[in-house]
C-alpha cells in the first residue's frame, strides 16, 4: 500500500469548496446561536448575580474571560441578535460573523462554567471560531476557495470527533467497549428520563443492548463520513438525524448544536438565495470564470 501524496493530503485537509456554503452555514449558526442562548443555555442571565459559582472551563481560563455580569451577558446576546440582522446586508455580512461568533463563544463559555459541560457544543464552538477565517462569502458566490474549504473541514472534523470522543469516553469509563455495550445504561436512562416511547422500549432490555452496540459502532465509525460523497453522504447524514430524533423521543436528548454542524457536509450552495437577503450585483459568479481558489 502506497502512502498518500502530500498533494492528496492537502486536498483532503484543505479542499476547495464554494464560498456560498460558508455564507449559508454562517447564517444557520447565527440564527441557532440566538435560539440556543434564549432557549437552551438561557441560564446565563439568571446566574449573573452569583459570579462566585462560576468556574471557567480551560478555554475560558486561557482567554481570561471574566464572570458574566448583566451588562456583559446582555451585550453578548445583543451581538448575536445584531449578527442575524447584519448578515442580510452584503457590506456588513463579515462583521455579522464576528459579532455572532464572539458573542456566542462568550455565552457558551459562561454557560458551561456554571455547571454541566455539554460536549454537544464542541463542534459549534469550533465552527464559531474557524468560520471567521474563511473571509467574505455571499450566498450566490459559487467560486471554490481553500480558505472556505479549510474552515468547513474543521467543522466537519469537530462534528465527527464529537461522536468518536463519546465512544472513547464510554470505553474509558467502562473499562472496555463491550462492557458499556452489554450494560444497562440505556435501560437506566429510559427509567430516569421517561417518555411514552421510552417506557415502551424499556420493556425490551435485550433490544436495548443491541441498540447500544449499534450506537457504539456508529460513534467509532463517525469519521468515515469525511470520505463519503453523494448519496452515501446523504444517507449517513439522514441516519444521524434519525438517530438523534430517536434519542429525543425516547430520552429527551436532542444534541441540536451538533446536529446543526452536520450542515457543513451538505451542498448548501445549491440552495436559492433566501428572500429578503441583499446580494451585491457582482455576487452571482460563474465558477468556470473564477480565478484560482484561495
Please tell me the predicted confidence (pLDDT) of residue 275: 61
The set of long-range contacts for 267-272, using a CB threshold of 8 Å and a minimum separation of 24, is: 267/21, 268/20, 268/21, 268/24, 268/25, 268/28, 269/18, 269/20, 269/21, 269/24, 269/142, 271/24, 271/139
What pTM was computed for the model?
0.87
Give me the residue spans of the domains in the chain: 18-272
Mean pLDDT in order along the chain per 10 residues (294 residues) = 71 90 93 94 92 91 94 96 87 87 95 86 94 89 92 96 91 86 85 78 86 92 94 94 91 90 94 65 46 38
Q: SS3 for 191?
A: helix
Calculate helix-pair angle for 146-174, 122-130, nearest 10 degrees: 160
Amino acid at each position: 500500500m502506497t502512502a498518500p501524496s502530500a498533494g492528496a493530503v492537502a486536498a483532503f485537509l484543505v479542499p476547495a469548496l464554494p464560498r456560498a456554503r460558508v455564507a449559508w452555514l454562517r447564517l444557520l449558526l447565527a440564527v441557532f446561536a440566538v435560539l440556543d442562548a434564549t432557549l437552551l443555555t438561557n441560564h446565563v442571565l439568571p446566574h449573573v448575580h452569583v459570579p462566585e459559582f462560576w468556574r471557567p472551563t480551560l478555554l475560558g481560563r486561557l482567554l481570561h474571560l471574566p464572570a458574566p455580569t448583566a451588562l456583559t451577558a446582555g451585550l453578548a446576546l445583543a451581538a448575536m441578535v445584531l449578527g442575524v440582522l447584519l448578515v442580510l446586508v452584503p457590506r456588513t455580512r463579515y462583521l455579522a460573523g464576528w459579532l455572532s461568533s464572539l458573542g456566542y463563544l462568550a455565552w457558551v463559555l459562561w454557560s458551561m462554567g456554571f455547571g454541566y459541560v455539554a460536549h454537544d457544543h464542541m463542534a459549534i464552538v469550533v465552527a464559531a471560531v474557524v468560520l471567521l477565517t474563511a473571509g467574505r462569502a455571499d450566498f450566490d458566490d459559487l467560486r471554490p476557495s481553500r480558505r472556505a474549504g479549510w474552515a468547513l473541514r474543521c467543522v466537519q472534523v469537530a462534528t465527527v470527533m464529537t461522536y468518536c470522543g463519546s465512544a472513547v469516553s464510554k470505553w474509558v469509563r467502562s473499562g472496555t467497549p463491550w462492557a458499556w455495550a452489554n450494560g444497562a445504561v440505556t435501560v437506566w436512562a429510559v427509567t430516569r428520563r421517561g417518555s411514552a416511547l421510552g417506557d415502551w422500549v424499556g420493556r425490551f432490555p435485550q433490544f436495548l443492548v443491541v441498540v447500544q452496540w449499534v450506537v457504539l459502532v456508529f460513534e467509532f465509525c463517525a469519521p468515515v463520513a469525511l470520505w463519503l460523497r453523494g448519496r452515501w453522504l446523504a444517507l449517513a447524514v439522514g441516519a444521524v438525524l434519525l438517530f438523534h430524533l430517536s434519542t429525543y423521543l425516547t430520552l429527551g436528548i436532542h444534541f441540536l448544536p451538533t446536529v446543526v454542524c452536520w450542515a457543513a457536509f451538505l451542498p448548501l450552495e445549491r440552495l436559492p438565495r433566501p428572500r429578503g437577503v441583499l446580494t451585491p450585483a457582482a455576487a452571482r459568479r460563474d465558477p468556470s470564470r473564477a480565478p484560482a481558489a484561495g
